[in-house]
Amino acid sequence: MEKKIIFSGIQPSGKLTLGNYLGAVRNWNNLQEEYNCFYCIVDMHAMTQYQEPKDLRKQTMEALAMLLACGLDPDKNTLFIQSHVPAHAEAAWVMSCMTYFGELSRMTQFKDKSAKQSENINAGLFTYPVLMAVDILLYQTHLVPVGSDQKQHIELTRDVAERFNNRYSETFVIPEPYIAKVGAKIMSLQEPEKKMSKSDENENANIYLLDPPEVIRKKFKRAVTDSIGIVQIADDQPGIRNLISIYSVCKNMTEEEVAKAFEGKGYGDFKSAVAEAVIEVLSPVQEKFHALMSDKEYLEKVYQEGALKAENVARKTLRKIYKKVGFIPRS
Ligand code: TYM
C-alpha cells in the first residue's frame, strides 16, 4: 500500500524557538517511517516581513541545518526550500482567484501580524494563506503536522481545495491538520497568555533552540508564574501550566504525571527541573547543528536533491491545475 503524504513548513524568519520544536519539528521525527514526508523551508512566506537579504540567506541555511539536527533524515524525507520549486508561486495565482477576500480577512494571524507591523501591511501578508494552501495541495497531502496556531490556515486550505474540486472535478486530496495533544501551543515565558513566537522582541520570552545552558537556566528562572505557589494544572496559572507542558513533552510524561511528580515542591525547584529537561533535549541538537553548519557542501546537496524530488511531484499537480482551469498546454 502506498504511504500517506505529510507536508509541513517552517519560516526562516528568525531564530527557531522551543515552540517550533515542541509544537512541530519534534513530531515530524516520529512520522518519517510511516509516511512519505515533505518538509519545506518557506523562504517566500518569510518575505511577508522585511528580511535583510543576507539574513534571509543565513536563516534559511540555519533552518535546514536545524531540521537535520533535530533528526530528520534526508533519505527518508524530502527537505527543500520553497523558492526552489516555482510551482508554488505559479499555483498560488490560480488559487488566489479561488479564495475570497472575506475569507482572508478573517484570518487571525493576518489580523495579529498587521497590528504588529502596521507600517508594512503588504499584499503578501494578506494572501499568505493562499500560498500556504498551495504548499499543501501541490503534494496531495493527507496530513499536516503543525502547532495549533496554524489550524485556521488548514481549514481555509480545505475550503479552497473543496471549492476547486467542486468547480472543476476531483483534483486535490483534502488535507487534515495533525496537532499533538501536548506542546501544540507553547506560551511566552514572560506573558504566558501569548504564544511563544520568533518575532517577540523580548528575548526572555523565548527559549531559542541555540540558547546555551546558562541562558536557558536564567530564562526559566525569570519565567512569569503566579502567587499561588502550587504546581498544578489550573486555568488561573497559565505560567505554571506552560512549564508543565514543556516538561511533559521533554520527558514523555503526561501533564497529570508531571503535576503529581512535583506535588509539594516549590516553583524554584520546578523551574530548575524544567530548565534541565530542556537542556537535556537541546544539547544533542545543538551539537549536531554546529557540525552541520560547518559542512556547507552537504547542506547544498540536501536542498538540491530535495528540490528535485519536490519539483517532480509539484509539477505534476500544477499541470493538472492548469489543464482543469482551461489553460492551453504549451506542448
Ligand atoms: P512558523 O514558521 O511560524 O512555525 C513553524 C511550526 O512551529 C509551530 N509553532 C508552535 N507550536 C507550538 N507552540 C508555539 N509557540 C509555536 N510557534 C510556532 C507552528 O504551528 C508551525 O507548525 N504558516 C506556517 C508555515 C507554513 C506551513 C505551510 C505549515 C507555510 N506553509 C504548509 C504547514 C503547511 C508558519 O508560519 O509556521
pLDDT digits (tens, 9 = 90+) for 102-135: 999 999 999 999 998 999 999 999 999 999 999 9
- Residue 67 is predicted with a pLDDT of 97
| Residue 167 neighbours by CB distance under 10 Å | 11
Residue 147 CA: which ligand 1 atom is closest? 20
* Residue 201 binned pLDDT confidence (cut-offs 50, 70, 90): confident
* Residue 163 binned pLDDT confidence (cut-offs 50, 70, 90): very high
- Residue 281 is predicted with a pLDDT of 97
* Residue 200 binned pLDDT confidence (cut-offs 50, 70, 90): confident
Pocket lined around ligand 1, Cβ cut-off 6 Å: 7-11, 19-20, 23-24, 42, 45, 132, 135-136, 144, 146-147, 149-150, 184-186, 195-197
Residue 139 CA to chain centroid, in angstroms? 17
Query: Comparing C-alpha atoms, which of 250, 208, 213 is closest to residue 66?
Result: 208
Spelled out in words, what is the top-level CATH class assigned to the domain 5-178+296-325? alpha beta
* Domain locations in the chain as residue ranges: 5-178+296-325, 203-290
* Residue 147 binned pLDDT confidence (cut-offs 50, 70, 90): very high
Multiple choice CATH, 203-290, 3.30.1130.10, 1.10.240.10, 3.20.20.100, 1.10.3720.10: 1.10.240.10
- Residue 270 is predicted with a pLDDT of 98
Active-site residue, 198 included = yes
* Greatest extent of the chain over all pairs of C-alpha atoms, in Å: 73
Contact 49, 117 (CB under 8 A): yes
Q: Which tens digit of pLDDT belongs to each residue from 27-86?
A: 999 999 999 999 999 999 999 999 999 999 999 999 999 999 999 999 999 999 999 999
Residue 136 CA to chain centroid, in angstroms? 13
Average pLDDT over residues 197-201: 87
CA 245 – ligand 1 centroid, Å = 18
Write down the mean pLDDT value for the chain: 96
- Residue 199 is predicted with a pLDDT of 83
SS3 238: helix
- Residue 242 is predicted with a pLDDT of 97
- List all residues 6 or more positions away from 55 whose beta carbon is below 8 Å from its beta carbon: none
Mutate to test the pocket of ligand 1, among 15, 18, 20 (most ligand atoms within 8 A of CB): 20
Q: Which tens digit of pLDDT belongs to each residue from 178-189?
A: 998 888 999 999
CA 197 – ligand 1 centroid, Å = 10
Q: Environment class of residue 71 by beta-carbon count within 10 Å: exposed (0-12), middle (13-18) or buried (19+)?
A: middle
Average pLDDT over residues 323-328: 98
* Residue 14 binned pLDDT confidence (cut-offs 50, 70, 90): confident
CA 266 – ligand 1 centroid, Å = 33
pTM of the model: 0.96
Strand order in the sheet with 176-178: 77-81, 36-41, 5-10, 143-145, 176-178
The C-alpha R_g of the chain, in whole angstroms, comes to 21
Active-site residue, 195 included = yes
- Residue 198 is predicted with a pLDDT of 86
Active-site residue, 194 included = no
Q: What percent of the chain has pLDDT over 90?
A: 95
